[in-house]
Amino acid sequence: MEQRFTSFQEFYPYYLGEHQDRRCRVLHYIGSTLVLLTAGIAVASGQLLLLLLLPVIGYGFAWAGHFGFEKNRPATFTYPFYSLLADWVMLKDAITGELAPKLKQLQAPKHKPVR
């Protein structure tokens, strides 16, 4: 049975769990950065047709990471909005140094409650 999420707060730990391989995350960061650069160039130059490349660039790098390194199905297919938002939050977390503790927390053993 497929897991369902009712909030981004519930979804984000799942999303990070699907991005354990550093190479996959790096490809996400490259794609996101190129999306920003391409959007800026498109707007600054007035060549707005370049904006059509944004999904190809962003998803192309991300999906290459999933199929090539994670060997899993991108969350975009099931949770398109949460996944898009999570890409940017993960990039922000990587830049601010918040990502490593969040990934480490995912790997911490779950303790059963004491009865």
Domain count, the chain: 1
Domain-located, residue 86: yes
Does 112 have pLDDT greater than 80?
no
**pTM for the model:** 0.87
Domain-located, residue 15: no
Domain-located, residue 14: no
Domain-located, residue 11: no
Question: Residue 48 and residue 32: Cα distance in Å, rounded?
Answer: 18
58-66 mean pLDDT:
96
What range does the domain containing 76 cover? Answer: 21-98
Domain-located, residue 4: no
Better pLDDT: 85 or 4 = 85
∠ CA 74-31-63, nearest 5°, is: 25
